[in-house]
């Protein structure tokens, strides 16, 4: 019985070896194919990102092109313009967006919220939009900078109220300078660099330490 058991073990080992010899090339091929596919995907993504970055670096959008856009296309255009200017930006506008269509972040200037108002040529944006943006930009979206952008114009009251309450505005004339002429938004609005903000946890720890 012992001899039979040993013989069985030897046969199983030989069978396993033969199987490994025949199967190994297949596994090696599959592994190599997987690595090649991963490298191809990585290189393709990198090329796509470089091409997009190069395109955005020279992005110019005319007012005629803006006027022909849909509301959502206008939001995506503002996102791309922010990206061109060095912000990390994303389009977030949807129903119930609480007055934020594009949110961006800049390492030196903080967090920005854009509210897009695409209108018919000659349309005007009133003070009510300014009130809404002021009420949500900081409390809801944590923004350091709030901006309302339109391809139309603002009423005199809206501009005056925005300037008093730190809600920036970009009307048709400013939009031309930003989108068509290529002036960065932070230069156009003279946005200052923001000091580094402490995280809520660090602020809490400091407060506790001071109280003690």
- Number of residues that this document lists for the chain: 212
pLDDT in tens, 198-207: 444 434 434 4
Tokens of 83: 């990206």
Global model pTM greater than 0.85: no
Average of pLDDT values for 43-55?
61
pLDDT at 117 over 50: yes
Angle of CA points 182, 185, 190, to nearest 5°: 125
Given pLDDT bands bounded at 50, 70 and 90, which one contains residue 192? Answer: confident
Instruction: State pLDDT tens for residues 60-103.
Output: 999 999 999 999 999 999 999 999 999 999 999 877 678 899 99
3-state secondary structure the chain: CHHHHHHHHHHHHHHHHHHHHHHHHHHHHHHHHHHHHHHHHHHHHHHHHHHHHHHHHCCCCCHHHHHCCCHHHHHHHHHHHHHHCCCEEEECCCCCCCCCCEEEEECCCEEEEEEEECCCCCCEECHHHHHHHHHHHCCCCCCCEEEEEECCEECHHHHHHHHHCCEEEECHHHHHHHHHCCCCHHHHCCCCCCCCCCCHHHHHHHHHHHHC
pLDDT of residue 123 exceeding 50: yes
**Mean model confidence pLDDT for the chain:** 82
Instruction: Give 31's pLDDT tier (boundaries 50, 70, 90).
Output: confident
């Amino acid at each position: 019985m012992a001899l039979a058991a040993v013989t069985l073990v030897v046969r199983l080992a030989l069978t396993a070896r033969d199987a490994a010899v025949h199967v190994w090339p297949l596994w090696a091929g599959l592994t190599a194919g997987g690595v090649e596919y991963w490298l191809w995907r990585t290189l393709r993504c990198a090329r796509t990102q470089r091409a997009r970055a190069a395109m955005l670096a020279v992005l110019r959008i005319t007012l005629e092109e803006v006027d022909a856009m849909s509301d959502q296309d206008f939001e995506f255009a503002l996102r791309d313009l922010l990206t061109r200017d060095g912000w990390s930006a994303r389009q977030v506008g949807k129903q119930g967006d609480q007055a934020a269509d594009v949110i961006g972040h800049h390492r030196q200037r903080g967090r920005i919220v854009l509210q897009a108002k695409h209108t018919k040529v000659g349309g005007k944006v009133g003070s009510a939009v300014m009130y809404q943006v002021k009420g949500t930009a900081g409390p809801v979206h944590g923004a350091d900078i709030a901006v309302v952008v339109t391809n139309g114009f603002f009423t005199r009251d809206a501009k005056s109220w925005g300037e008093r309450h730190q809600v920036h505005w970009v009307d048709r004339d400013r939009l031309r300078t930003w989108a068509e002429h290529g002036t960065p938004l932070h230069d156009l609005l003279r946005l200052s660099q923001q000091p580094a903000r402490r995280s809520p946890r660090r602020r809490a720890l400091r407060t506790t330490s001071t109280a003690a």
